[in-house]
A and B are shown apart, each in its own frame.
Chain A
Amino acid sequence: MSITTDLTDRYLGAAVKHAPERQRADLERELRASIEDALEPRIDAGEPVDAAERAVLNGLGDPEKLVADWLDRPLHLIGPAVFLLWKKLLIWGLAVLVPITVVAVYLIQSLVQRDLVAPIGDAIGAGLSVAMHVAFWVTLAFAIVERSTDALRSIRKQWTVDDLPSRTPGRGEQLAEGIIQLVAVGALVFALAWQQFNSIYEADGQPVPLFEPSLWLWWWPFAIAVTLLGAIVQLVRRFDLVSAWVNLAGQVLVTVPAVWLTVTGAAFNTVFLERLRDEVQAWPVLDGTAIDTGFGGAVIAIGAILAIGGAWDAVEGFRKARKPRTVLAG
């Protein structure tokens, strides 16, 4: 009775496979009738059965797509309703979690392994793995939301003008930032000079500075000069890409050695540390290991704060440079 062949059966099989069990029989029956209806006039007109069948099935197209349309299923992972939110969350997740992981893993591993090169690989590996986790889980959550009508409705937010990004930071803001940097440099120089001549410990009648005195030969002049230069660039330029790159270069030149000096302990005066250690050890509750762990933890914490602060400042420079400029009419 049926005029169709194996090809139609295969097409129907491929189609209903994607439908829920209880809808399959109905769907297959209706689709088969439609195919046969389309075949009949072609065969009556003298077209060979297999050629007619091919033409009709090709006309219907990919069975999986047909059934998806039929059942009103989305043919995309994340649709336009939530795409922008997905993108924003993904970028934020990556921008926040990946740098923190890389820096933290590097600092901890360099301390544990007592090596500065090998931990680079560990840090990059950990960063990649965090990036993949963030991308996967955020996307999975949004793909589920996309397929749940209620969730989709609740997450949708009407855009209003309040969501517009704020205007380009003005000249005043830029000046303020430059001045804050200048004040910070001044305070740093003062604090460094002060600690050189005032200390809680004395040796041979001379104060024992907290920081390693030989750093005055190269590190402090270098760091002060670079920071000063950065502050001046902030003062004379608007927030633009040039000032962002100068800021990034300054951060790299100062922060990387600063973190290294801190984490390796090279920044600190050994005499000062020994005196401090002796004093703490006199305290009966603490043993040697506890003190070492405490020092190690404090050093990592300072290094992490320096690194994250520097990275944040560098990124902030680019973010400000990217803000839209106010277009003046006329």
Chain B
Amino acid sequence: MDELSSLEQHRQELRRGTVVLACLAQLREPGYGYGLLETLERAGFDVEANTLYPLLRRLEKQGLLTSEWNTEESRPRKFYRSTADGEAALAALRTEWRALSSAIDALGA
């Protein structure tokens, strides 16, 4: 039982950083909180609403995302979109991810 929960902890830690990468990749097209949550879930990122929403705000504060209210539809929603800095960060994170992935493969071989 303990072994299982510690494994779960390692998995969560491993995934934490990848959510940022996924958000930046997905938000090259404008998206709103719940919509992004659904997209990420479908893509296999098992992320909680109370993790994602604060994360979007934080990325916006860091200048990697920008936001805009869309009031055209019946329900006004805040849409987030990645900035030029966000694009650069995404490219850097992707490179890092690939490097890590091949490094891990090399370790296993």
Cβ distance A54 to chain B, nearest Cβ, rounded Å: 15
Residue from A1, A34, A69, A72 within 8 A of B33 (CB atoms): A34
Q: Apart from A34-B33, A72-B58, what 12 extra A-B contacts exist at CB < 8 Å?
A: A33-B32, A33-B33, A33-B34, A37-B33, A37-B34, A38-B49, A59-B48, A59-B50, A69-B51, A70-B54, A70-B57, A72-B57
Complex alpha-carbon distance, A65 and B51, angstroms: 11
By size class, the interface of chain A is 10 to 19
B50 and A69 within 8 A (CB): yes
The answer on a CB contact under 8 Å between B54 and A29 is no
* Contact present for B78 and A1 (CB under 8 Å): no
* Alpha-carbon distance A1/B74, docked complex (angstroms): 9
Closest-CB distance, A228 to chain B (whole angstroms): 57
Say whether B49 contacts A36, CB under 8 Å: no
Determine whether the beta carbon of B33 is less than 8 Å from that of A61: no
Q: Which residues of B contact A34 (CB under 8 A)?
A: 32-34, 49, 53
Bound complex: CA A69 to CA B54 (Å)? 6
**Is B11's beta carbon under 8 Å from chain A?**
no
- Which residues on A sit within 8 Å (CB–CB) of B34? 33-34, 37-38
Interchain Cβ contacts under 8 Å between A and B, 22 examples: A30-B33, A30-B53, A30-B77, A31-B53, A33-B33, A33-B78, A34-B33, A34-B34, A34-B53, A37-B32, A37-B33, A37-B34, A38-B34, A38-B49, A60-B49, A61-B50, A66-B53, A69-B50, A69-B54, A70-B54, A72-B54, A72-B61
Chain B residues at the A interface, C-beta cutoff of 8 Å: 32-35, 48-51, 53-54, 57-58, 61, 69, 74-78
Contact B35 A37 (CB under 8 A): yes
A69 to B49, CA, bound (A): 12
CB-defined interface of A40-72 with B at 8 Å, one 1/0 digit per residue?
A: 000000000000000000011100011001111
How far, in whole Å, are A34 and B36 apart by their CA atoms in the complex? 11
Residues of A within 8 A of B54 (CB): 66, 69-70, 72
User: From residue B87, how far is it (CB to closest CB) to chain A in Å?
Assistant: 23
Known A70-B57, A72-B58; contact A29-B50, beta-carbon cutoff 8 A: no
Inside 8 A of A60's CB, which chain B residues have their CB?
Answer: 49-50
Instruction: Give chain B nearest CB distance to A73 CB in angstroms.
Output: 10
In the complex the two chains form, is B49's CB within 8 Å of A59's CB?
Answer: yes
Residues from chain B with a CB closer than 8 A to the CB of A66 are 50, 53-54
Q: How far is the CA of A33 from the CA of B48 in the complex (A)?
A: 16
Residues of A within 8 A of B75 (CB): 33, 36-37
Most buried by A among B48, B61, B74, B77: B77
Q: Which of A162-182 contact B (CB under 8 A)?
A: none
Q: Check if A33 sits within 8 Å of B50, measured CB to CB.
A: no
